[in-house]
Amino acid sequence: MKKLIYLAFISLSLQVSAQLDRSVMPKPAAAATIQLKESEVFTTKNGIIVILSENHKLPKVSFDLTLGYTPGMEGAKAGLGELTGSLIMSGTKNRSKDVLDKEIDFIGASLTANSTNLYLSTLTKHMEKGLEVMSDLTSNANFPTSEFERVVKQYQSSLLSVKSEGEAMANNATVKVNFPNHPYGEVMTVNTLSAISLEDVKNYYAANFTPQGAYMVIVGDITRAQAEQMMEKHFGSWTGKVPSKPSFADPKKLDGNQVYFVNKPGSVQSVIHVSFPLAMRMGNPNNLKMSVLNDVFGGNGFGTRLMQNLREDKAYTYGCYSGLNFQNEGGWVSITGNFRNAVTDSAITEIVNELNRLLSEKVSDDELALTKATKTGSFARSLERPQTIARFAYNIQRYGLPTDYYKNYLTNLNAISSSDLLELAQSYLKENNYNIVVVGNEEVLEKLKKFDSDGKIIQLDEFGDVKQAMVPADISAKDLALKYTLAVTQTKDLKSAMKKIAKVKSMTQNSTLKSDKIPFPLSNTEIYTNKGIRAEKMEFGGNVAQKSYFDGKTGYTFNMQTGEQKMTDEELKMAAFEQALFPEANLANNTSAVKMELLGIESDGANKYYVLKITQNENAQSINYYNVKTFMKEKVTKIQTVAGETESATSQFDQFLDEGGFLFPRHLIVATAPITFDINIDKIEINGVVDLKGF
């Protein structure tokens, strides 16, 4: 590699081209000058702190409103703020949602809102109209019941699919374990969502959407006088209470490494998050140093220690990064990556070693120089966006930074030495004091014990709550199959149960499926006969979307996109097992060879369940949950691996009602990663006319 020579004296470049020596890399010209403009700050009569950064280069302007309250603990209603935010734009006293969308589109503007922030970007000449709509949202949002119900339903669906999303589960676990009894550690769950009422949302809005202490950052082609006038005209009559600003202590220091495990049956990769709270909030004088250290360690790019070690050197992963978070009420570091099962423990070893190394060794001159250069460059380039200047002013105001913080940014950056970084690491980090969250297949669990300082791994559920350790079951798998069979058939012994089942010559079940993602309901027909037939057909508007047919020996599946396909041998075996009216009856009766294993008793807070694992073959299994009191099957998770990809679907059943002497669920929710169905069983007919037309 050629060595590039820097000229030691003032640039030669003015000289004529004939003498140009191309092998000499040009040196930088004289120090560039940044016009880091001062922003203006003023406060309105009703208490809004306005930060104005005039920039007349282009005829556009943005209004960025951040409310003044500090989100507090939501407890049993965790997620209330988020839900409220999702509903802000669903209408006001003066405008329906449709009108609102149209008005914003018409002026070519964009307007977004969440629970703490509203943002409008528009050409200056249309700002009046944009602000009219924006201020309508801050004062007059009216939360129509229909929108509340629609959005709650959307959240319900997405919460159900959390179980199939490793990254989401790891995030939930990470915030919970680092921030107990702290708003950052609160996660919306099915239970907390169902505790939130429309009234709660309205109250949240009324309490927190208040002008006092809010920040309005205005950037662009607008003068001070105009800004004052706009604020007065559109937000002058906005009133509200004093916002609440609870404060929260930093989390307790960790005491040794703690491993948390979230089971994701069937996964071929583990999601790993190694994290720890950092006693450093936004505005701490050491923020900049810490971000330099983090960049060297595992910030963006390929050159970091984590990437070099885990990807370039060991090829354990496609990417491994360290995220540094400073916020108003706390800070934390989280190192994240996906690793295949076989190297899950080796990856943790490397991550922990790299973290520990920060405490014992200085970073090299090369690492430090590259990081400083990259940071310097991105600082300079960021100034092209007028929003940057305003963000600086906002940070100074909101986080109490020194007023010359950004003026001295580069000077301070360049002054950082590798000894500073070592000292910093030693004062904020502690060797082997990390929360290690692993979401993955149970097969990796045993190998994780060595990382836990007391060898006791804590298992969490999908929302990061401690999972009650499964209690060993007090009955056998076969007993369970029997009890379930007796319960659904409402009989006293297996013999009468089998007899009762045998009397069912046929059953036809009609249901209606609804999903947010599909505008109209689908209808489903399922047919069972005791001659070995199981047929199912899903239709809409007279078209068959998909169907399947099994006659006891052969069968096919069909969907409108791929057409008809014969069942494979594996599929036939599964179909044969599932054909039965109650497959468990055959397990109890020893007439099925399918493997089952009773894993134990699990509790979800409200109820306890027997957990039965049924393994059809190496690529297909289902985990069934039976209520320990009623023995009803209330939940089933099916896991299937097709071409190396694992898919799972979770069904929840309720409303068990009698039909012909049997208890059948009349309602269920089926969640898969892309879509969730809410299904009502409309009709169950036993021994009626069997209509197999169309199969």
Partner 1 sequence: MRKGFIFFLFVLGAFTAMSQTKINYIEYDLPNGIHVILHEEHSTPIVAVSVLYHVGSKNENTDKTGFAHFFEHLLFEGSQNIGRGDYAKLVEKNGGALNANTSQDRTFYYEILPSNQLELGIWLESERMLHAKVENVGIETQRSVVKEEKRQRVDNQPYAGFITEMFKRAFPTHPYNWVPIGSMEHLDAAQEQDYVQFYQDFYVPTNATISIAGDIPIEQTKKWIMTYFGSIPKGQALNLYRDCMAMDDVKFTSKYGMSKEMFNPKDYGNTKDKNALALIKKYSETPINIRRTQKDNTKINGVITDTIFDNIQLSAIFMGYKIPDQKNADSYALEFMNEVLSGGNSSRINKELIERKRLANYAGSFNYGLEDGGLNIFLALANDGISLPEVQKELDEQIRLMKDQLISAEEYETVLNKFEKQVVESYSTVAGIAENLADNHVYFGNAARTNQMLEMYRKVTREDILRVANTYLTDNARVILYYLPKEK
Please tell me whether residue 605 binds partner 1 under the rule CB under 8 A.
Answer: no
Number of residues that bind partner 1 (CB under 8 A): 81
Where in 386-415 is the site for partner 1 (CB under 8 A)? Answer: 407, 410, 414
Compute CA distances 226 → 111, 127, 176, 232, whole Å: 20, 11, 46, 10
The CA distance from 262 to 448, in Å, is 12
Is 315 among the residues that bind partner 1 (CB under 8 A)? Answer: no
Exactly one of 190, 282, 370, 663 binds partner 1 (CB under 8 A); that residue is 370
- Using the rule CB under 8 A, which residue among 9, 35, 249, 693 binds partner 1? 35
Q: CA–CA separation, 611 vs 619, rounded Å?
A: 19
What are the b/e assignments for 250-286, b being 16+ CB within 10 Å? bbeebeebbbbbbbbbbbebbbbbbbbbbebebbbeb
Which residue from 583, 584, 579, 586 is spatially nearest to 533, judged by alpha carbons? 579
Q: Should residue 60 be labelled a site residue for partner 1 when binding is judged by CB under 8 A? A: yes
Contact flag: residue 31 with partner 1 (CB under 8 A):
yes
Structure tokens at 379: 């600082």
Distances (CA, A) of 348 to 35, 85, 172, 334, 344: 46, 37, 19, 13, 6
Pick the binder of partner 1 from 25, 268, 466, 471 (CB under 8 A): 25
Lookup: tokens for 276: 């720890």
Report if residue 37 touches partner 1, rule: CB under 8 A.
Answer: yes
The strands making up 49-54's β-sheet, listed across from edge to edge, are: 40-43, 49-54, 215-220, 60-66, 117-123, 110-113
Which residue, 34 or 466, is less far from partner 1 as judged by CB?
34
β-strands 320-327, 215-220 pairing: unpaired
Check residue 381 for interaction with partner 1 (CB under 8 A): yes
Q: Does 469 bind partner 1 (CB under 8 A)?
A: no
Please report whether residue 643 would count as binding partner 1 according to CB under 8 A. yes
Rounded to whole angstroms, the Cα distance separating 682 from 523 reads: 10
Interaction between residue 649 and partner 1 (CB under 8 A): no
Report how far Cα 123 is from the mean position of its chain's Cα atoms: 34
**φ, ψ (nearest 5 deg) of residue 397:** -65, -55
Bridge partners for 679 per DSSP: 513, 668
Q: Which of 384, 569, 618, 658 binds partner 1 (CB under 8 A)?
A: 384
365-382 and 287-297 helices cross at what angle (nearest 10)? 120
3-11, 163-171, 439-447, 610-618 -> range binding partner 1 (CB under 8 A): 3-11
The answer to whether residue 105 forms part of the interface with partner 1 (CB under 8 A) is: yes
225 binds partner 1 (CB under 8 A): no
Give backbone dihedrals phi and psi of 558, rounded to 5 degrees, phi first: -145, 135
146 is an interface residue for partner 1 by CB under 8 A: no
C-beta closer to partner 1: residue 89 or 335: 89
Q: Is residue 678 involved in binding partner 1 (CB under 8 A)?
A: no
| 637 vs 623: CA distance, rounded Å | 5
472 binds partner 1 (CB under 8 A): no
Among 225, 315, 519, 553, the residue binding partner 1 under the rule CB under 8 A is 519
Among 76, 206, 268, 560, binds partner 1 (CB under 8 A): 560
521 vs 422: CA distance, rounded Å: 62
Residue 113 or 278: the one with the smaller Cβ distance to partner 1 is: 113
DSSP readout, 483-526? Answer: HHHHHHHT-SSHHHHHHHHHT--EEEEEEEEEETTEEEEEEEEE
User: Measured from the CB atom, is 501 or 522 closer to partner 1?
Assistant: 522
For position 383 contacting partner 1 by CB under 8 A, the verdict is yes
User: Among residues 38 and 454, whose Cβ is nearest to partner 1?
Assistant: 38
Smallest gap, in angstroms, from Cβ of residue 585 to partner 1?
31
Interacting residue with partner 1 among 28, 472, 542, 644 (CB under 8 A) = 28
Residue 601 tokens read as 């008793």
Distance between CA atoms of 76 and 595, rounded to whole angstroms? 40
32 interacts with partner 1 by CB under 8 A: yes
Is 147 among the residues that bind partner 1 (CB under 8 A)?
Answer: no
In the window 486-515, what residues touch partner 1 (CB under 8 A)?
Answer: 515
- Taking CB under 8 A as the rule, does residue 617 contact partner 1? no
Residue 674 sits in the site that holds partner 1 (CB under 8 A): yes
Q: With respect to partner 1, which residue has the nearer C-beta, 504 or 538?
A: 538
Residue 76 near partner 1 by CB under 8 A: no
- Binding partner 1 by CB under 8 A: which of 142, 376, 412, 619? 376
Region near partner 1 per CB under 8 A, out of 30-38, 79-87, 188-196, 492-500: 30-38
Nearer to partner 1, 472 or 519 (CB): 519
The dihedral sign for the CA sequence 639, 641, 644, 650: negative
Structure tokens at 297: 């360690």
Rounded (5°) CA angle 425-431-434: 100
Looking at the Cβ atoms of 514 and 573, the one nearer to partner 1 is 514
Kindly tell me which of 190 and 410 has the beta carbon lying closer to partner 1: 410
Q: Which of 206, 415, 469, 518 binds partner 1 (CB under 8 A)?
A: 518
Q: Does 421 bind partner 1 (CB under 8 A)?
A: no
Q: Which two tokens stand for residue 481?
A: 């199959």
Q: Tell me the three state secondary structure of residue 683.
A: strand
According to the binding rule CB under 8 A, does residue 1 interact with partner 1?
Answer: yes
- Shortest Å distance, C-beta 389 to partner 1: 10
CB of 560 to partner 1, least distance (A): 5
Dihedral sign (CA 479, 485, 486, 488) = positive
Do residues 691 and 509 touch, judged by C-beta distance below 8 A?
Answer: no
* Amino acid at the residue 362: K
Confirm or reject binding of residue 4 to partner 1 (CB under 8 A).
yes
Q: Contact between 56 and partner 1 (CB under 8 A)?
A: yes
Among 9, 18, 618, 693, binds partner 1 (CB under 8 A): 18
* Closest CB 29 distance from partner 1, rounded Å: 4
106 scored as a contact of partner 1 (CB under 8 A) = yes
By CB under 8 A, is residue 22 in contact with partner 1? yes
Could you say whether residue 182 binds partner 1 (CB under 8 A)?
Answer: no
62 vs 210, beta carbon nearer partner 1: 62
